[in-house]
Amino acid sequence: MSSFKPTFLCDELLRDAAFVNGKWVKNTSEFFEVTDPANGNVIAKLPEQSVEIVDEAIDAASEAFKTFKNISGRQRATWLRNIYNLMMENAEDLGKILSWENGKPLAEGIGEVKYAASFFEWFAEEAPRIYGTAFSPAIASNRAFTRREPIGVCGIITPWNFPSAMITRKAAAAFAAGCTVVVKPDSQTPLSALALAYLAEKAGLPAGVFNIVLTDKKTPEFGMRLCESPKVKKVTFTGSTNVGKILMKQSASTLKKLSLELGGNAPLIVFADADLDQAVEQALASKFRGLGQTCVCANRLYVQEDIIDEFSSRLASKVNDFVIGHGFQDGVTHGPMINAKAIEKVEAHAQDAIKKGAKLVVKGGRRPDLGPAFYSPTVLSHVPQEADVTSQETFGPLCALIPFSTTEEVVKYANDTDVGLAAYLFTKNIDTIYTVSEALETGMVSVNTGVFSDCTVPFGGVKESGFGREGSLHGLEDYTVIKTTIIGGLPSRL
């Protein structure tokens, strides 16, 4: 695989420039490299742009907003539907680009592309249906009503782990509401974002509505520019809690609206009455999606003590069937970590848990035979609650099984964290489903399934996992403001 390069039906999807005001822009002699995480090979060289490109993109988006906000929801829906259709027509190529820069197995990359496209389909259907409300004021001669208006230019900052979907579920909602955007993708995975810009241009989206700026070295400066610009009315970010707090501070000077989807540390709880086969399969799907590199991956797996040995045995047999390798190889189920440095935290958490008494079920470990960023999953059982893995998000393929005795105990363990994005619950008892799901301090609770992301349901967290919701009918709300109109002095009713 050392010299592998995928073939594309449409080579135009591979772009080597930023996209600002409907034009592909380089305007620099400095470049940064995008590499294949499986082998470190350079797959693209993109312009390392100056901070001034952010100002140009903001100005272009601000000018485009003057017109775009007044275009009918039905027309915006047509453009969104066009983008959806183009993404589906090019799903295989887009999946190859995503897998190449991110490392996911190709099937998973194509799956993400289709998931990403679904947000354009969903919000195409929502764009013509942005409703206001009517009120009956206390004064009989008055009338009052509201309308939702687009908030304005939106800054979008996205991570590397979902290079396509993290953009579409933000940008699609923004476009549906009538907003324009400036996107700053992660420098490790910018090619998927640029491919989306190419398709948006092809779909007929007006110049200046969708802008993408590029940098590797100046990411903090780009983020600050978006946050402090008075022309940008909203910033939305997916990433770490620490960076989210920085962006919030930087946005204070303009009282900018924010949507933040931050750190996870999701608990997954398996009660003794659960369907064990189902719980194992779904726990695997949650824990090892993207090799554990997603914000909603189960990080702490609490298994009732009566079944923890049986559960760990069944889970281990499935993990041993994983095929680790380059995402383009046939039969591969899991690719590399995003880089070699990401492995260090996995190893540290595993070593800490073992030192504190955890049982080693599946050793796992580095795979230098495959490359510097490859790691086979490690499974530990009887992990003590005081282990570091319970209080820190590992973001990698370490499966930590923690025993619990009572419902009250596990709810206390699950809530003992500053973050609250997602939680998982496996039980057949309807009382347990309701009482525990309501007691868990998370924005989302997934019952008897390990994969719940869908464009039709709201996604977001509580506590230090951030605020705001993406997807669903609520996904438009964060890109609008409510205007109230009151009419007074009307004649008496006939």
- Catalytically annotated residues: 261
62, 124 in Cβ contact below 8 A?
Answer: no
Q: Write down the number of H helices and E strands in the chain.
A: 14, 24
User: What is the rounded end-to-end Cα distance, in angstroms, of the chain?
Assistant: 81
DSSP code string of 185-238: --TTS-HHHHHHHHHHHHTTPPTTSEEE---STTHHHHHHHHHH-TTEEEEEEE
Cβ–Cβ under 8 Å, residues 83 and 203: yes
Q: Which amino acid makes up residue 450?
A: G
Element (H, E) at 376: strand 375-376
Q: Closest Cα to residue 327, out of 111, 32, 159?
A: 111
Q: Which residues contact 140 (CB under 8 A, 6 or more apart)?
A: 492, 493
d(CA 258, CA 268): 29
With beta carbons less than 8 A apart as the criterion, state whether 65 and 179 touch.
yes
**Tokens (6 digits) for 150:** 């687009």
Pull the structure tokens for residue 429.
């008892």
The beta-carbon contacts of 485-491 under 8 Å, at least 24 apart in sequence, are: 485/144, 485/145, 485/146, 485/147, 486/137, 486/142, 486/143, 486/144, 487/142, 487/143, 487/144, 488/139, 488/141, 488/142, 489/141, 489/142, 490/141, 490/142, 490/143, 491/141
CB 266 within 8 A of CB 442: yes
CA distance 445 to 422: 6
Collapsed DSSP state (helix, strand, coil) of residue 180: strand
Query: To 5 degrees, how large is the angle CA 285–CA 328–CA 395?
Result: 40
- C-alpha 253/C-alpha 143 separation (Å) is 36
CA distances from 177 to 69, 301, 457 (A): 8, 39, 18
Q: How far apart are CA 47 and CA 241, in angstroms?
A: 28
φ/ψ of 309, rounded to 5, equals: -70, -45
**CB proximity list for 333: less than 8 A, separation 6 or greater:** 105, 321, 322, 323, 324
Question: What type of residue sits at position 182?
Answer: V
